[in-house]
Amino acid sequence: MLRPVFWALTVASLLFGLPDMARAGDPVPTEADYYPLVTLPIPEGVVLEAGALEMLPDGKLAVSTRRGEIYLVANPLADDPAQVKFARFAHGLHEVLGLAYRDGWLYVTQRGELTRLKDTNQDGRADLFETVSDLWEINGDYHEYAFGSKFDRDGNIWVALCLTGSFTSESKYRGWCFRISPEGKAIPTSSGIRSPGGLGMNLAGDMFYTENQGPWNGACSLKHLKPGAFLGHPAGLRWHQAAGMAGPRPKEPESGSRMAIEVKKIPELLAPAVYFPYPKMGQSASGIASDFTSGRFGPFAGQMFVGDQAASTVMRVVLEEVDGRYQGACLPFRKDLASGCLPLLMTKEGTLLVGGTSRGWGSRGGKPYALQRLAWNGKVPFEIHEIHARPDGFELSFTSAVDRVSAANPKSYGLTTYTYIYQSSYGSPEVDPTTPTIDRVEVSEDGKGVRLRVSELQRGHVHELHLDGVRSGAGQPLLHPEVYYTLNAIPVK
């Protein structure tokens, strides 16, 4: 009797003319076959609700906690996790959600300020604490988080400030992003933030943050922290004059409209580069890490990885610039992490470290906290490598050659589109759905790419593409056959 998975693949072969599948009983590849997870042991009594991660020059990993502690973890990349050792470096801080190291100092983004710490007597504990910047204000609201970045190419740390709750900005500069210079000068950069979950740079050095679903945000998303941009939530605009921003205060958006409409009316408004469809790709976007390792982490060099706290997953993001603004796609990457993924850190060796916490919001992983790592084992999964918008459709590349018959068949693909209501109330359902037609598929000469000729692309929509019928040359299905492309602009060529 045929197993269910094999039976489904056999039916697909008959329908789509696909190559013969693996024989019944052959295992279907899983994420763990390429990126195994290692859980680092946390000592009894250490409540490691991780808020930020940073590698130090001596090979130790600095881990901050939401309870205001910082631990130094020795041997975090050891083959034997039993060699991992924890030592507390600092405590008494306020919800640390950013760590960055430079010139002997550990820079710490906490709720009320950016601080730098140093161990002056070399006893393994911080004994010198200096305020770098405390320009912004806080009150007792649970939601007034402050997320900090690594150093950018100019030596700045970027700090993104949550609103008071989800709807208002009761404390000064809540809903803003600032760059903090090496001299401690706070430079107002962007407004319109609601509830960030993490910050990170792409390969070009541009800074991004993850935004969470809520008022004026129909779904979680990745947004470019472009200097001078308004990122969508108007509550923080009350501080526009105080921040000394050039030009008049941006016009407030119309609730109930669509982002694509309001972008045309408000020059400063910057649409999300990538939406993470809710709940398909998660419910609480979090930390960002880019692969700058030139292939040590596998076939996705230069791409971004983004966590989701609620789903306990790591997603993959492919970006491109069209008409001078970022847009792109998200794809699943790795599920089954132990806790709610918050900070991500890519090491120079090509290991992705993930800190987990579930306090305040439940997570699929179930553990109250965790510290885990992912490394590529050298096997190449059959995956969508990149996707790019074209004037009449999309161009996709793959990590290995496709079976030409299955890949050339338009029936191997399914495409739908939708967008979100841009509104002052919480979140949005998917609205304005369409079903474009894939008229023709062209397979590249090397078999590692396809061009989809599509009728009726929808500007401002997420284009949800499923490639369930596509097979590799060896007859394997894609490890992740779905991709979600946010089409803010249609290229002209």
> 182-214: per-residue pLDDT in tens?
999 999 999 999 999 999 999 999 999 999 999
Quote the mean pLDDT of the chain: 94
User: How many CB atoms neighbour CB 39 within 10 A?
Assistant: 15
Is 50 exceeded by the pLDDT of residue 113?
yes
Percent of the chain at pLDDT exceeding 70: 95
**What's the pLDDT score for residue 16?**
41
Question: Helix, strand or coil for residue 263?
Answer: helix
**What's the pLDDT score for residue 391?**
98
**What's the pLDDT score for residue 25?**
56
Strand order in the sheet with 37-39: 37-39, 369-375, 351-357, 341-346
Is 90 exceeded by the pLDDT of residue 8?
no
Q: How far apart are CA 91 and CA 406, in angstroms?
A: 58
**What's the pLDDT score for residue 19?**
45
pLDDT-derived band at 20, boundaries 50, 70, 90: very low
Instruction: Give mean pLDDT, residues 128-151.
Output: 97
Is 80 exceeded by the pLDDT of residue 309?
yes
Separation in Å, CA 359 to CA 93, 182, 273, 311, 396:
18, 33, 29, 14, 39
* Residue 377, Cβ density class (10 Å: 0-12 exposed, 13-18 middle, ≥19 buried): exposed
**What's the pLDDT score for residue 276?**
98
Nearest CA to 148 out of 114, 195, 173, 192 is that of: 114
Instruction: Give mean pLDDT, residues 128-150.
Output: 97
Instruction: Give mean pLDDT, residues 153-171.
Output: 97
User: How many CB atoms neighbour CB 411 within 10 A?
Assistant: 14
Q: How far apart are CA 193 and CA 466, in angstroms?
A: 32
Which range has the worst mean pLDDT, 12-26, 64-78, 347-361, 400-414?
12-26
User: What is the three-state SS of 279-325?
Assistant: CCCCCCEEEEEECCCCCCCCCCCCCEEEEECCCCEEEEEEEEEECCE
Is 80 exceeded by the pLDDT of residue 98?
yes
Instruction: Give mean pLDDT, residues 435-445.
Output: 98
Instruction: Give mean pLDDT, residues 262-289.
Output: 98
**What's the pLDDT score for residue 493?**
85
